Amino acid sequence: MNKTTQFLEKSLSLFSYSQNLRRDFHRHPELGFQEYRTAEVVARELRALGLEVTTGIAQTGLSAVIEGSQPGRVVMLRFDMDALPIEEQTGAEYASQNAGVMHACGHDGHMAIGLTAARLLQENRDLIHGTIKLVFQPAEEGLGGAERMVAENVLENPHVDVCLGLHLWNEKPLGWAAVVPGAFMAGADFFTVRIFGKGGHGGLPEKTIDPIVATAQIIMGLQTIVSRNIAPLESAVVSVTQMAAGSAYNIIPNQAELRGTIRTFLPEVRDVVTARLEQIVRSIAMGMNCEADIELQRLTWPVINHPRVTEVVQGVIHNLLPDLRIENNYRSMVSEDMAVFLNKVPGCFFFIGSGNPEKGLNAGHHHPKFDFDEQVLSQGAAILAAAALELGKMEL
């Protein structure tokens, strides 16, 4: 029996440990940056393994380090902790006891996987090359938990060489995974454009500078970015989703405003889109004698996986679970702040199928009936522990 197979067997033997933890987290969900009870449970379990725990990183986040017996890389395993403002409707015996708050994305499962993987690794320290850094992150759901953790130096002391994370994926059944090199999940930007003209009487346009006509041309101009500036085999979205101007039938307003979103996978594609947006807005506004003001807000980075790290994860899954179907060209427009870590250090973030339609466990993420097949907990923990072991030995 090789070492990796041992990890799967051990993980399966720990199933009730994983399940109890998951159900405990599920009963007591907490919103981003308020995961105080959750953090206490995580810290208690890590301390029970004999690990020293650093708490209070980005408010409620924590980390712990497992020193291997041999020199090697520092491999970070990241797990998110927050729940969502949703009223649970699963009717499960372990349903949320906090009104209006629910683990509807599967982060309860991620934490149970993390603590089980920690146990597998701590009990096999003699096999570890390098150091495993376990990171439990608060506030993944659009609140910027990862960014705050990076700002509070979670990637240092010890300096992280490579990072790994996973997400349960209820859109697909148990026995499936998406482990994708390169661009995997889209990054999102929001933009606001303000066009300033000179208002006046609707019957005397020659006395005004009309920002509405300029804005209409800008909206049409923006449609050419994806169609004319992005190669047909690349992906990008530019959507104008809001516009506002004017207050009466007979008044040409002073200004107009439009807002929208950009979605891209590759940084070079995003650079083209944002540069062209700026050029089109400014030049059309100038041509129409208006002034323009542009605000661009980066909401999330895309998730970009390192090809060799991804290959290692694929190999580990293939060894552990030969029947599991691995997709290597799956992409999602959902965003994920693991991207913040992946932007700093090479790594891999992957999906693992957690649905089970036969058991009625296939409601989507963020749905009040979301629930998953808990068998995925043993799979996830074994995969992460085995992958961390491999990556500790790897030269990048």
C-alpha pair distances (Å), 356 with each of 171, 359, 380: 10, 6, 16
Question: For this structure, is 161 an active site residue?
Answer: no
From the list 100-108, 247-255, 318-326, 385-393, the region that binds Zn ion by CB under 5 A is 100-108
- The window from 40-48, 101-109, 269-277, 309-317 that contacts Zn ion (CB under 5 A) reads 101-109
Q: Pairing state of beta strands 236-245 and 182-185?
A: unpaired
By beta-carbon proximity to Zn ion, the closer residue of 166 and 209 is 166
Q: How far is the CB of 37 from Zn ion (least distance, A)?
A: 19
Please say which residue, 105 or 188, places its beta carbon nearer to Zn ion: 105
Sign of CA dihedral 5, 10, 13, 14: negative
140 labelled catalytic: yes
| Shortest Å, Cβ 335 to Zn ion | 9
Span near Zn ion by CB under 5 A; candidates 102-110, 183-191, 208-216, 310-318: 102-110
Q: Which of 57, 86, 105, 387 binds Zn ion (CB under 5 A)?
A: 105
Helix/strand/coil for 160:
coil
Instruction: Determine how β-strand 291-300 pairs with β-strand 187-196.
Output: antiparallel
Q: In angstroms, give the least distance from the CB of 342 to Zn ion.
A: 15
Residue closest to Zn ion (Cβ): 105
Residue 149 CB, nearest approach to Zn ion (Å): 16
Residues 19-58, one symbol each (x = binds Zn ion by CB under 5 A, - = not), give: ----------------------------------------
Over the window 167 to 206, marking each residue x when it contacts Zn ion by CB under 5 A and - when it does not, the resulting string is ----------------------------------------
Residue in this structure with the two tokens 């994370």, named with its chain if needed: 165
Closer by beta carbon to Zn ion, 105 or else 164: 105
| 326-361 burial: b if 16+ Cβ within 10 Å, else e | beeebbbebbbbbbbbbbebbbbbbbbbbbbeeeeb
Task: Please state the φ and ψ torsions of residue 353, each to the nearest 5 degrees.
Answer: -60, 130
Binding-site size, Zn ion (CB under 5 A):
1
CA atoms of 109 and 79, how far apart (whole Å): 9
- The CA distances from residue 253 to 4, 208, 217, in Å, are 68, 9, 16
Cβ-based nearer residue to Zn ion, 8 or 105:
105
Q: Which of 30, 88, 108, 140 is catalytic?
A: 140
What DSSP character marks residue 32? T
* Shortest CB 110 distance to Zn ion, Å: 8
Token pair in block for residue 21: 């933890």
* Burial state string for 86-112 with b = 16 or more CB within 10 A and e = fewer than 16: bebebeeebbbeeeebbbbbbbbbbbb
Q: What is the dihedral of CA 383, 332, 170, 367, to 10 degrees?
A: 140
Q: Identify the CA nearest to 223 among candidates 280, 298, 272.
A: 280
Residue 139 or 214: the one with the smaller Cβ distance to Zn ion is 139
Q: Which stretch binds Zn ion (CB under 5 A): 99-107, 194-202, 242-250, 323-331?
A: 99-107
**Nearer Cβ to Zn ion (255/335):** 335
Question: Helical H runs in the chain?
Answer: 3-13, 15-27, 36-48, 107-122, 145-151, 211-224, 267-287, 307-320, 338-342, 375-393
**Nearest approach, Cβ of residue 13 and Zn ion (Å):** 28
Of 63-71, 98-106, 197-205, 257-265: span binding Zn ion (CB under 5 A): 98-106
Q: State in angstroms the smallest separation of the CB of 111 from Zn ion.
A: 12
Which three-class secondary structure state does DSSP give residue 284? helix
Q: Which of 30, 45, 80, 82 is catalytic?
A: 82
Residue among 80 and 189 whose Cβ is closer to Zn ion = 80
Please give the radius of gyration of the chain, using alpha carbons only, rounded to the nearest integer. Answer: 24
Residues contributing to the site for Zn ion (CB under 5 A): 105
Q: Among all residues, which ones are annotated catalytic?
A: 82, 140
